[in-house]
Amino acid sequence: MERYDLKARRIPDTTIRRLPAYLRALMVTGQERITSEVLGHLAGYTSEQVRKDLAYFGAFGTRGVGYDAGLLADEIRRILQLDHGVRAVVVGAGRLGTALVRHTDETASDVSIAAVVDINPEVIGRVVDHLTVESLDKLEVLISEREIGMGIIAVPPGGAQAVLDRLVASGIRAVLSFVPKALTVTNPDVFVQHIDLTLEMQALAYFVGQSHPSVR
Amino acid sequence: MERYDLKARRIPDTTIRRLPAYLRALMVTGQERITSEVLGHLAGYTSEQVRKDLAYFGAFGTRGVGYDAGLLADEIRRILQLDHGVRAVVVGAGRLGTALVRHTDETASDVSIAAVVDINPEVIGRVVDHLTVESLDKLEVLISEREIGMGIIAVPPGGAQAVLDRLVASGIRAVLSFVPKALTVTNPDVFVQHIDLTLEMQALAYFVGQSHPSVR
């Protein structure tokens, strides 16, 4: 099996974003070998998409036989750097923030929440699953001490940019933002993924009436 | 101003998905006129992207003067069908489901949560903000009585496909799924948007170590 060389080939972000779905599909099936058709079906993509995506890492598959499921899962974990485990800090212990901590604990992924911080004195000290909410003042210390590599922002829009700036200054390069506001980052090494639940719902509204012109 | 004709031109889903961000940007700025540069900056996209997206609806902008902010906001609301208001049902009143209800109430969007249902007798009857958790058995009745057009699925993977099937059978055409599993739908009029928080975090893990080859 060829090894993927990080420097030699740049994998498109869109491909990277499908890899976790493939990984979960591989873990769901107990098979030793899996075809691109089955993998695509389980992950929710076409077999063509699967083959195209996996071709970026070299020739895993054998025609008519499929992929070695174990090798492929290990390789995806390695590419996503999940083989090292990733620790994240949740900034903002409000309704969404605490739900995220608990949801992540429940789903037992390779990403673990190692700290949760808030600015509100009434919230600091509360226990959320296995963690105690710490003060936002300790953000940099916690990131360093607990070797945190990912930031999850679930604060109100007003304080979000300052939080992002502090995360980036602390060496965080991967950020998941639930803030309903575009945040800016000048460091090209930092990747910020936005999940705006309100926007998702508003965009979906378009499809509510798509096939019902009579309601307009 | 030209009017957008739903039948004449098919707007790409990717453009539809950016419209809510433009709408919010228009609401944030108090200006009567706004250029594609400012709109793009506020929404987090390039001015070229803004101009390309808005061109689908006809010629709103005037070079050097920009767009009429009020007209543009109204038009986006109309296209997204937000001018009618959209009511959604949240299926699954667990941690994520209840956080979604509260989050949506707080952000006061044009989408409102009109019902929340669960299968667990211990959860049914609980109050979540302005709603009482109802039995999943009443799903179809609630959708009809409360004129619900959108479904939000926040149940464990095992029961998710059955929930989706029931939503679709009840006439729901727009679904937001937080289920960590690919769901299938055969009706081409139904749009299912997946938000898988675990997958998002796993995909982000890739970027944690991107600029730190030394940690490998």
The predicted-structure confidence for B131-162, as pLDDT tens digits, reads as follows 999 999 999 999 999 999 999 999 988 999 99
Q: Do B191 and A176 touch (CB under 8 A)?
A: no
SS3 readout for chain B: CCCCCCCCCCCCHHHHHHHHHHHHHHHHCCCCEECHHHHHHHHCCCHHHHHHHHHCCCCCCECCCEEEHHHHHHHHHHHCCHHHCEEEEEECCCHHHHHHHHHHHHHCCCEEEEEEEECCCCCCCCEECCEECEEHHHHHHHHHHCCCCEEEECCCHHHHHHHHHHHHHCCCCEEEECCCCCCCCCCCCCEEEECCHHHHHHHHHHHHCCCCHHHC
Q: Do A176 and B150 touch (CB under 8 A)?
A: no
- Whether the CB-CB separation of B174 and B164 falls below 8 Å is answered with no
pLDDT given for residue A212 in this prediction: 41
Facing B42 at nearest CB: one of A42, A182, A199: A182
Q: Which of B26-30, B81-85, B109-113 has the lowest mean pLDDT?
A: B26-30
The predicted-structure confidence for A96-149, as pLDDT tens digits, reads as follows 899 889 888 776 567 899 999 999 999 999 999 899 999 999 999 999 999 999
Question: If one looks up domain B13-79 in CATH, what number appears?
Answer: 1.10.10.10
Spatial distance between the Cα atoms of A111 and B109, rounded to a whole number of angstroms: 31
Q: What count of other Cβ atoms lies within 10 Å of the Cβ of residue B151?
A: 27
What pairs with residue B192 in β-bridges? B175
Residue entry with tokens 């949760």: A116
Higher pLDDT, B130 or B28: B130
**Residue A84, min C-alpha distance to chain B (Å):** 8
Note whether B107 contacts A: Cβ–Cβ < 8 A. Answer: yes
pLDDT given for residue B4 in this prediction: 45
Which residues in chain A are closer than 8 Å to B202, comparing Cβ atoms?
19-20, 23, 80, 82, 109-111
Parallel, antiparallel, or unpaired for β A174-177 and A150-153?
parallel
What pairs with residue B118 in β-bridges? B135
Spatial distance between the Cα atoms of B117 and B151, rounded to a whole number of angstroms: 11
What single-letter DSSP state applies at residue A4?
P
Facing A99 at nearest CB: one of B99, B111, B215: B99
User: Is the C-alpha dihedral spanning B40, B46, B51, B56 positive or negative?
Assistant: negative
Amino acid occupying residue B1: M
- Token readout for B189 is 């009029």
Q: How many residues belong to chain B?
A: 216
pLDDT given for residue B152 in this prediction: 97
Residues of chain B with CATH 3.40.50.720: 85-201
Facing B95 at nearest CB: one of A102, A198, A207: A102
Facing B174 at nearest CB: one of A20, A191, A207: A207
Q: What angle do CA B59, B109, B163 make, to 5 degrees?
A: 110
pLDDT given for residue A211 in this prediction: 47
Note whether A33 contacts B: Cβ–Cβ < 8 A. Answer: no
pLDDT given for residue B2 in this prediction: 40
Spatial distance between the Cα atoms of B23 and B31, rounded to a whole number of angstroms: 13
User: Is the C-alpha dihedral spanning B141, A198, A108, A105 positive or negative?
Assistant: negative
Thinking of the domain A85-201, which architecture would CATH place it in?
3-Layer(aba) Sandwich (3.40)
The predicted-structure confidence for B42-77, as pLDDT tens digits, reads as follows 887 888 999 999 888 765 667 777 888 888 888 888
Class of domain A13-81: mainly alpha
Spatial distance between the Cα atoms of A204 and A209, rounded to a whole number of angstroms: 10
Indicate the SS3 state at residue A194.
Answer: strand
The predicted-structure confidence for A163-197, as pLDDT tens digits, reads as follows 999 999 999 999 999 988 778 888 888 988 888 88
A-chain residue closest to B199, CA distance: A20
Place A38 in a pLDDT band, splitting at 50, 70 and 90. Answer: confident
The predicted-structure confidence for A63-105, as pLDDT tens digits, reads as follows 777 888 888 888 888 888 888 788 999 999 988 899 889 888 7
Which residues are CB-contacts of A26 (< 8 A; sequence separation ≥ 6)?
Answer: A34, A39, A69, A72, A73, A76
Which residues in chain B are closer than 8 Å to A203, comparing Cβ atoms?
16-17, 19-20, 80, 193
Indicate the SS3 state at residue A66.
Answer: strand
**Residue A173, min C-alpha distance to chain B (Å):** 5
Residues of chain A with CATH 1.10.10.10: 13-81
Q: What count of other Cβ atoms lies within 10 Å of the Cβ of residue B17?
A: 17
Place A213 in a pLDDT band, splitting at 50, 70 and 90. Answer: very low
pTM of the model: 0.76
B-chain residue closest to A150, CA distance: B208
Q: What angle do CA B65, B70, B76 make, to 5 degrees?
A: 105
Which residues in chain B are closer than 8 Å to A99, comparing Cβ atoms?
95-96, 98-99
Spatial distance between the Cα atoms of A173 and B207, rounded to a whole number of angstroms: 6
Indicate the SS3 state at residue A3.
Answer: coil
Q: What count of other Cβ atoms lies within 10 Å of the Cβ of residue B212?
A: 13
Indicate the SS3 state at residue A172.
Answer: coil
- Is 80 exceeded by the pLDDT of residue B30? no
Facing A202 at nearest CB: one of B98, B110, B207: B110
Residues of chain B with CATH 1.10.10.10: 13-79
CA A203 vs. chain centroid, Å, equals 21
